[in-house]
Structure 1
């Protein structure tokens, strides 16, 4: 870990001598604005690993992003190197409202303790469910952020992250019926316990998520990057630019389909992602909303 190299990658030029909440908030936001949430390796014939040094080289030195097992692992390493009191937690992503959380931990997050208070740092969920700043681990507290109002709910030792969203307004009417658009005002995102885990906890699920034909990540190629006004997303060939307008109670969604010839240029210009191998975009019918 070279902290200065990481900070250059996320465009952070400030001091990090104080291990306080303000510094944590700043680097958390810089991370999500600079390093995409993406699973493109699966669709480039590459193997995604849980090896921290490989993840570091990929994201910091080779202008890539990663999914949660990469981005949040990297961020946890950064926090430990800085000296923050932090542990890794496993979370279960909510499949749908009817079925609730999945059966196994398929999402990695970090818990950070500062001055006796605990916070959840998650720099890699992507799209409209991405928090820009850490969430205080307090049950039932409304925590407004750019994307909407987030809440952590303690349900007898199992914590649930939920979000209240604004109404979507599509610029292009032809995409109104597309199932990529979330129309639920309130949704649960994932659940977790406060039992710390090690990286080997995720070995099996990492393999499953990138090989199982029923996995979301084998069925869709996904790239997402937060922007000062919202976020950008690419799912298969569908490119979206979302602008948050809290004062109007809406999120403006500008969607369009791009061609194979536009994929590499879009990734470079809109996400600062430079692929070494050819991407085969995928967007099969499985449940997923931006």
Structure 2
């Protein structure tokens, strides 16, 4: 793999100041959470006239040195490289995202994740799904076990040739009446998120998909500009012109959604203040019809 990357820069980017000499579960959990709190899940580059690549050096420069985020092909590729550099036993897997409109999983591996084995136990790490489906820490690869996290209860289910990730969440409580019927609000309590096999994948497996996701007119990512970042109490997201701050309130069994529309002239300011993102090129926000919920 190419050079010009180092762990110290990455750890500074995510605000990690601990020891990383021992590749154990505690350290993995910590850097996983720090990553999702620091590096947004976003597809803004393709709406600024830039091409998204899977070149690790380019990804490192963008996400770490330029204080940007990225989608799964970038965030999880970077995270997998970090884990290997730290000495973790890790492989890359491909997964198929669940489409609620058709009630089936997509035909191609459009989502990249990592599997890590520690002391004989396997874990799934995924630092780049975004919004309320984002894992804050790794999931143990055991079937049917409810694994509570901030967003809800996640489960991995062994279906034989594939595993399925699902999440049981809470009821949405929308603060703003004008957004009560917004298509961005998820009203399904238990959601299937994606399925995956345990066959290790190399970067070549994703190159065609990485290109298609940013060029196909039917792709979610060509139809919407998306930027989300986890916070200690939930997450914030900008989808098209709609900015949302979501607060998890498990004690009330609700997620509180504070939503508002942002005028064009304030988009750059929101990106800077809420996501610490300053784009080099002009963003063209998009929010066409496509199924996507917070």
Please indicate, yes or no, whether the TM-score normalized by the shorter chain is above 0.5. yes
Q: Which runs of 5+ in 1 are unaligned?
A: none
**TM-score if structure 2 supplies the norm length?**
0.98
Establish whether residue 18 from structure 1 lines up as the match of residue 10 from structure 2.
no
Establish whether residue 42 from structure 1 lines up as the match of residue 62 from structure 2.
no
Partner of 2:221: 217
Q: Which runs of 5+ in 2 are unaligned?
A: none
Question: Aligned to 1:211, what secondary structure does the other structure show?
Answer: coil
Deviations 1:217-252 (A, max 9, x none): 000000000000000000000000000000000000
Of stretches 89-98 and 6-15 in structure 1, the one that deviates more from structure 2 is 89-98
Distance 2:99 2:251 in 1: 31
Establish whether residue 103 from structure 1 lines up as the match of residue 107 from structure 2.
yes
Question: Aligned to 2:252, what secondary structure does the other structure show?
Answer: coil
Partner of 1:128: 132
Question: Aligned to 2:195, what secondary structure does the other structure show?
Answer: strand
Partner of 2:34: 30
Partner of 1:267: 271
Establish whether residue 174 from structure 1 lines up as the match of residue 178 from structure 2.
yes
How do residues 131-280 of structure 1 correspond to structure 2 at under 5 angstroms?
Answer: 131-280=135-284
**TM-score if structure 1 supplies the norm length?**
0.99
Q: How many residues align?
A: 290
Tell me which of 45, 53, 58 is aligned to 2:62.
58
Asked if the contact 1:97/1:187 (under 8 Å) is kept, the reply is: no
Question: Aligned to 2:251, what secondary structure does the other structure show?
Answer: coil
RMSD: 0.7
Distance 2:62 2:115 in 1: 24
Deviations 1:114-150 (A, max 9, x none): 0000000000000000010000000000000000000
Of stretches 91-100 and 33-42 in structure 1, the one that deviates more from structure 2 is 91-100
Post-superposition shift, 1:97? 6.2
Asked if the contact 2:123/2:141 (under 8 Å) is kept, the reply is: yes
